[in-house]
Chains A and B, each alone.
Chain A
Amino acid sequence: MRARTLPHSRLRSSGGTRIARRTRKTVVIAAVAALSAGLLAGCADDGKDEDDSSSDGGGGGGKTKITLGLFGTAGFEESGLYKEYEKLNPDIDIQQTVVERNENYYPALLNHLTTGSGLQDIQMVEVGNIAEIVQTQSDKLLDLSKYGKKSDYLDWKWQQATTADGQTIAVGTDVGPMAICYRKDLFQAAGLPTDREEVGKLWTGSWDKFVETGKKFQEKAPEGTTFLDSPGGLLQAILSGEKDRFYDSSGEVIYKTNPAVKDAFDLTAKAAEDGLIGNQTQFQPAWDTTIANSKFAAMSCPPWMLGYIKGKSKPESAGKWEIAQAPKSGNWGGSFLSVPKNGKNAEEAAKLAAWLTAPEQQAKLFAVQGSFPSTPAAYDSAAVKDAKNDMTGDAPIGTIFAEAAENIPVQTIGAKDQIIQQGLTDNGVILVTQGKSAEEAWKNAVKTIDNALDK
């Protein structure tokens, strides 16, 4: 009561303060209202409510809105695929939300799936997480085997998203058949061949030969350059071509005892000890700078990496890159589209997911975005066959990657692949470039990974 009488007595003193006071009061009330409305909306935000309002406001028949939750640069919108689909299906309105990094996107997706709220009609899943989604969330996702055509996709890609009881809960978007990108000018300066066939022959079939080539390069390397960019890149490349990596076919974690993993780790550590590898972590600003300043001669190179190189290079580096087959073909990256069952437009969403990943659309996506198709039928299309990249000049990248894609082994994947890979890289081989021994690095990685895997 007392607090209220005070302003009243002041009100009488002058008209000016009364107005000021009233406007301030209005502002306060407005602010409080806005805050509480925001709070309520925050609690009630479910995605579906928005659907309701927008389809009501659509007028006429009311368009069906399909939303996509994506991460990184999926490129569907950039390559005009949404517009094309909306033209083919005038009743459909497509919207997307994009999170930049999968590290942020994936925990949120899990949260949304387990609580059944906040989901988009279509959700993208990265290959490093697909096994976990298949094993733990398949009951919440639609079986897409009726929508996508199995024979269109690479067999292993289709299998990766298929549960033990035969439901395919996601369709493959792109794959990452890996090749080796190298700098012609630096190879020439170090007295190595530059023709892609000859370069490929230097290391065909063996990563040891690849590292030997690195030694030859390093002997005559231009000052300040290394053969490879980062230990993580080499380890990833070797492991991606192994049939069994971190899990065996029964789902047991075997990374510690699998000789293929230890060999890959030791070979990478050896190359780092010999000074063939730059002491960088991939996708960090300092690593970007080594691309811009041409500080290394070669790197493992899935199709999407060309786009990354292009983005970070100086203009004068255009055309100085060349691309050769890797010692062994492997897959690095790629994604899937899944459709949550409880979405309002699950049926329409499934149709769209299948359409977006059909061979014709994937070929278009490759031409614009560099995401390599997971559908072999697209490999014969002109969009793939004639594809070129500014960085690699005349190299027929589509043909090279297509050849790599067809040699990729069917890999055993597991739920925690991403955590194990990250542990071996970020808590492992990188330490060798900082003066630790291979043994210390391995122990540190194993310690970290085992703690991470232990429930």
Chain B
Amino acid sequence: MPTRHDTAAPPAKGGAAPARPPAGSANEERRRARLSRRWQRDVRWSPYAFVSPFFLLFLAFGLFPLLYTGWASLHTVELTAPTDMSWAGLRNYTRIFDDEFFWNAAKNTLIIGIISTVPQLMMALGIAHILNYKLRASTFYRVVMLAPYATSIAAATLVFVLLFGRDYGMINWFLGLVGFDAVDWQNDTWFSKIAVSTVVIWRWTGYNALIYLAAMQAIPQDLYESAALDGASRWKQFIHVTLPSLRPTILFTVVVSTIGASQLFAEPLLFDANKGASGGPQHQFQTLGLYLYEQGWVNQHLGRASAIAWTMFLILIVVGIINYVISRRLRASS
């Protein structure tokens, strides 16, 4: 506080200082009170002012859309007239129960989530373990690992579409060389899911590997040394030293990957050869995010799309709770 000496007033009560002329003292006191009030207000409200930009933006672009979507989900609204809402009650939600496309999409999201997340995290662990050894040009490898993450999803997916082409794709050409039949990567129920998962795995493995690597480098070296003295092989060291130390990191990557998998959208959208949003002719790889987009922007039913969005949100909360319970159990057991 920059306080000038001459403005420093005597204590308000008591004190042996000679009384000043009454008018001046009253002035002084008022001024002091004003300053003090201002200072108090400053201390009390400034922090809110400083954090407000985030919350204002969140209000405008996070909370308001969330609530508005909730409101819209209770109505029949079309993209052709978004302000023209007619009350539909909970119909948009109840119809989800027997909407086979929704449950198909939910199933696809789960399956693609599993077959992309599990191999991805395991590979990331392995790669991180290898990179953790002293290697020449380790920075180079780390940068290479991160390159897919820095690539645009659209560009990458379009390249994968070409690679996975049924008639002129490179992967089928290679399969043909080693004597396999051509695979219809776009239309087959399982192979299309595997193809979409491949794009996800390609993109995120390196990112997770770097997170694991960072955690691994924080493990004290003497743990390994004592394990080695006890005669533990490299593999045993990995199982008994590395993995337990990585547990919180693994939990973190599982949570982040689960969130990513449940919101999967761009890869299946761009992988669809028909350039529609139905995720293949028989909706083989239509995820929840894609179904939401199809209802809202292709079929133009904003009310239905909003209900799907909120249902996804509720499902995610349930998944989050399960995740929390499991991680608590794990922490308690360790």
Contact = CB atoms under 8 A, between A and B. Distances in A.
A111 interface: yes
B281 A444 contact: yes
Contacts of A101: 275
Nearest to A282: B274
Nearest to A452: B299
B176 interface: no
Nearest to B77: A455
B165 A286 contact: yes
A407 interface: no
B29 interface: no
A450 B306 CA distance: 19
B184 A434 contact: yes
A33 to B, nearest CB: 15
A132 B298 CA distance: 13
A110 B168 contact: no
A110 B299 contact: no
Given A110-B79, A289-B167, A455-B78, A448 B278 contact: yes
A325 interface: no
Chain A contact residues (Cβ within 8 angstroms of B): what range? 20 to 34
Contacts of A455: 76, 78, 301, 303-304
Contact of B282 (A115, A422, A427): A427
A236 to B, nearest CB: 14
A101 B100 CA distance: 30
Interface string B129-142: 00000000000000
A290 B80 CA distance: 38
B300 interface: yes
Interface in A44-102: 101
Interface of A: 101, 103, 107, 110-111, 114-115, 132, 136-137, 281, 283-286, 289-290, 419, 422, 426-428, 430-431, 434, 444, 447-448, 451-455
A115 B81 CA distance: 9
B328 to A, nearest CB: 36
Given A286-B166, A426-B276, A427-B282, 14 more contacts: A107-B298, A110-B79, A114-B82, A132-B80, A136-B81, A284-B273, A284-B275, A286-B165, A286-B168, A422-B276, A428-B281, A451-B99, A455-B78, A455-B303
Interface in B55-113: 76, 78-83, 99-101
Nearest to A440: B282
A33 B278 CA distance: 41
B292 to A, nearest CB: 14
Contacts of B99: 451
A419 B79 CA distance: 14
B229 to A, nearest CB: 44
A453 B78 CA distance: 11
Interface string B276-295: 10100111000000000010
Contact of A114 (B79, B168, B184): B79
A114 B298 contact: no
Contacts of B168: 285-286, 289
